[in-house]
């Protein structure tokens, strides 16, 4: 309900005074409108008028408007009342009440931005969920404080109590470490964008994952087919890549042209049956082409610096790679299947490689876990797999003699 200043003046004259208090005005309005004084909320210029204030002090002039709202006898406590789970009994009234308190809103914006945004927004469900979440946090804090208080009075000779005290001290150290990280190293809690660059494989543009932790350069079967390279697949190099998980090695593509920047480079690929991974530029080609991962300038330098290509920003990486769940699957797949782990390795080829140019008969390398273990051990010393297998064959599987042969060669 509203009354203009003229009506207010007439009511004031009935009280034989021109300095009318808000409480007296409410009493007159109660007679006029039948709304009980206790249920009246008077607003002037968007602010609630207190009972003890005077109209002249508030600044009510001719032509001004005074708004009366019937509160239905709801006090602030009623409006702010919460359910047992922490949600508001009347979320709309709760929201409107806090919106109308500019001081409280300022405090919320500074100390609890998520709740402040929910109050300013239109999603009541989100507001209720945040209130419930805050309630759970308060309960957990209260429970933790009660447990800490109980430990202070625990029997010093009680083994279980001492274990709890030890756990509490350890957790306190963890919490302090977490708080220090939040303050001094907040970047550690963000998601790190992996290193991708634009490349062309056989003329087909790709987003290449640069991974110095992968032993070999990897291409998926689907990607190889899209690039027109599957016809060059040498299935004699079939096997299994083992690391954090495993994936089937379909074979190798011995050489194909890749374009990085404006230059072309020869590259060999291990082909995997890994649908979650397209192309991984591994350590073998990084070494061969003398690549430098320059994180300061955020570029990949190839050929000792003759070509530089920028690492892609997150927005430029395909959405299926940026997706959290698929990225997790990709990490697991590439670590196990692509040899991202330093221990990932191929099994011995099922078929021997072609005979040497001199026409010497190819020797089928011995099979079995013992021979494979020797191969892995010597490869880890820095020798390539083919040389290791050849040395072990010449030395009849003697690991020490083969090592001597390799170092001597």
Angle formed by the axes of helices 91-99 and 124-152, nearest 10°: 90
| Active-site residue, 370 included | no
The 10 Å Cβ neighbour count of residue 15 is 14
CA torsion through residues 253, 367, 354, 357, sign: positive
Whether the Cβ atoms of residue 350 and residue 236 lie closer than 8 Å to each other: yes
User: Which of 256, 274, 272, 275 lies closest to 264 in space, CA to CA?
Assistant: 256
* Cβ contacts of 108 within 8 Å, gap of 6 or more: 98, 115, 116, 119
The 10 Å Cβ neighbour count of residue 397 is 15
Q: Which three-class secondary structure state does DSSP give residue 203?
A: coil
Report how far Cα 374 is from the mean position of its chain's Cα atoms: 41
Catalogue the E-assigned strands of 11-75: 40-44, 47-48, 65-70
* Cβ contacts of 284 within 8 Å, gap of 6 or more: 215, 216, 217, 268
The active-site residue, picked from 211, 284, 370, 384, is 211
Report how far residue 29's alpha carbon sits from residue 35's, in angstroms, rounded to the nearest whole number: 7
Sole residue written with tokens 């000779």 = 157
The 10 Å Cβ neighbour count of residue 340 is 26
- Structure token pair of residue 224: 């190889």
Report how far Cα 84 is from the mean position of its chain's Cα atoms: 32
Whether the Cβ atoms of residue 302 and residue 289 lie closer than 8 Å to each other: yes
Q: Which residues are catalytic?
A: 211
């Amino acid at each position: 309900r509203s009354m203009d200043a003229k009506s207010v003046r007439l009511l004031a004259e009935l009280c034989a005074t021109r300095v009318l208090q808000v409480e007296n005005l409410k009493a007159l309005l109660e007679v006029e409108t039948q709304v009980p004084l206790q249920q009246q909320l008077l607003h002037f210029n968007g602010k609630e008028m207190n009972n003890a204030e005077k109209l002249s002090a508030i600044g009510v002039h001719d032509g001004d408007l005074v708004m009366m709202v019937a509160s239905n006898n709801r006090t602030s406590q009623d409006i702010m009342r919460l359910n047992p789970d922490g949600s508001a009994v009347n979320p709309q009234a709760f929201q409107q009440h806090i919106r109308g308190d500019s001081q409280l809103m300022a405090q919320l914006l500074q100390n609890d931005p998520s709740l402040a945004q929910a109050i300013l927004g239109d999603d009541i469900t989100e507001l209720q969920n945040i209130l419930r979440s805050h309630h759970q946090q308060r309960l957990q804090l209260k429970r933790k404080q009660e447990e800490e208080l109980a430990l202070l009075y625990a029997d010093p000779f009680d083994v279980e109590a001492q274990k709890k005290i030890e756990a509490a001290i350890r957790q306190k150290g963890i919490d302090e470490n977490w708080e220090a990280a939040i303050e001094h190293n907040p970047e550690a809690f963000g998601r790190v964008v992996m290193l991708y660059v634009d490349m062309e494989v056989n003329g087909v543009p790709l987003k290449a994952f640069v991974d110095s932790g992968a032993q070999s350069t990897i291409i998926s079967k689907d990607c190889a087919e899209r690039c027109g390279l599957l016809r060059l697949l040498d299935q004699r190099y079939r096997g299994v890549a083992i690391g954090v998980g495993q994936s089937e090695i379909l074979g190798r593509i011995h050489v194909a042209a890749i374009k990085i920047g404006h230059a072309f480079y020869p590259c060999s690929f291990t082909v995997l049956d890994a649908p979650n991974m397209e192309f991984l530029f591994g350590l073998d080609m990084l070494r061969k082409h003398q690549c430098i991962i320059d994180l300061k300038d955020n570029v990949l330098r190839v050929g000792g610096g003759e070509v530089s290509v920028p690492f892609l920003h997150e927005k430029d990486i395909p959405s299926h790679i940026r997706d959290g769940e698929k990225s997790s699957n990709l990490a697991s797949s590439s670590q196990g299947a692509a040899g991202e782990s330093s221990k990932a390795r191929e099994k011995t080829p099922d078929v021997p490689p072609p005979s040497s140019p001199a026409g010497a008969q190819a020797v089928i390398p011995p099979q079995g876990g013992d021979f494979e273990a020797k191969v892995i051990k010597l490869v880890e010393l820095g020798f390539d797999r083919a040389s290791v297998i050849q040395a072990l064959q010449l030395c009849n599987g003697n690991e020490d003699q083969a090592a001597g042969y390799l170092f001597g060669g």
